[in-house]
Amino acid sequence: MANIEKQKLIIDTDPGHDDALAIMLLEKSGLFDIQAITTVAGNSTIQNTTNNARYILDLLDSKIPIYSGANAPLTRKLILAEVHGPNGLAGANITKQEPLTGTAVERIIELVKNNPHEISILAIGPLTNIADALTRDSSIIPLIREIVIMGGAIAVPGNKNRVAEFNIFVDPDAADIIFRAPIKKTLIPLDACNNVFLSINDFEELKNSPLYRPIKEMMAHYIQGILNFEKTSGAIMYDPLAAYFFINPVAFETEMMDIKIETQSELTRGMTVAERRSWGEKNPNVLVAKSADRAEFTKNFLEILNR
């Protein structure tokens, strides 16, 4: 299928073990024309997440261009994740210091303006770059096809504080800008992600793949990190599940919801506050994935990575 028929994507990301798997899934699916990888600080510093993006694309022998972006949230100090280790991709043999272009925001704006109504964005890190793009050039708001966001926690506890999921927690002001913007949005929150995880043995399915060894190395560290910091056993498929929404949206149970972002309180910083009262006045602003079909995802995910 020629590129002109493939859905055009930008992946905004903070690799991150699960980000790595999400990028691999979309690239190896052959279904998408990935126009850019834009990097953001979150799981680690911007230099580390950008180095990690290069490592992942080298593993895929991919020429997708990388544009580095924000090294900190819009207004707040950067709070890093710990799950992914000191360089953000523990277990990976990172040898290259990728040059930082610092042009992620400009590139998002340029790609959207040059491809009106055709660019979809997969946001799998803190939302700083995307919010900055909407603020710098609001004319792109009606031109973005859709944004699929890994983030939030609706009816389950947070994974970074009592109520907030990490991506939204890191830059709640950016999330607030995006949730208020009249753009088609889909949210893949912890409610759907928590039940979708792979064991280290599940990755044995990939044993004949050239990706097997690097993935096994990375997943051993990721699974340990999830156990240490999120007290759960297994490789939770946060970002790959958000990516999978582009491949198989019917594998998700979804509901339109009215969600606002907590930006004022420290205690509930980054909470995705949904109007869940049956009688509440609702202004639905985002399609929320309440659950996902774990078996369907796992089958498709491993099959595509094995290609």
- Binding footprint of ligand RIB on the chain (CB under 6 A): 14, 16, 18-19, 42-43, 81, 124-125, 150, 159, 165-167, 238-239
Q: Three-class SS of residue 32?
A: strand
CA-based nearest residue to 104, from 44, 185, 159, 49: 49
Interface residues for Ca ion in 213-252 (CB under 5 A)? 239
CB of 124 to Ca ion, least distance (A): 4
What is the distance between the alpha carbons of residues 18 and 12, in angstroms, rounded to a whole number? 13
CA-based nearest residue to 51, from 31, 72, 30, 37: 37
CB of 279 to ligand RIB, least distance (A): 32
Cβ-based nearer residue to Ca ion, 22 or 181: 22
DSSP per residue, 86-128 = TTSSTTS-----------HHHHHHHHHHHSTTTEEEEE-S-SH
Q: Taking CB under 5 A as the rule, does residue 19 contact Ca ion?
A: yes
Q: Taking CB under 5 A as the rule, does residue 171 contact Ca ion?
A: no
CB of 167 to ligand RIB, least distance (A): 5
Helices (H), 122-261: 128-136, 166-170, 172-180, 190-193, 212-230, 238-247
Q: Which residues contact 303 (CB under 8 A, 6 or more apart)?
A: none
CB of 131 to ligand RIB, least distance (A): 16
Helix (H) or strand (E) holding 13: strand 7-13
Binding piece for Ca ion, criterion CB under 5 A, among 121-129, 172-180, 275-283, 291-299: 121-129
CB of 277 to ligand RIB, least distance (A): 26
Pick one of ligand RIB, Ca ion, none as the site partner of residue 165 (Cβ within 5 to 8 A by kind). Answer: ligand RIB
Pick one of ligand RIB, Ca ion, none as the site partner of residue 27 (Cβ within 5 to 8 A by kind). Answer: none
Name beta bridge partners: 273.
260
Of 69, 85, 125, 152, which one interacts with Ca ion (CB under 5 A)?
125
Pick one of ligand RIB, Ca ion, none as the site partner of residue 159 (Cβ within 5 to 8 A by kind). Answer: ligand RIB
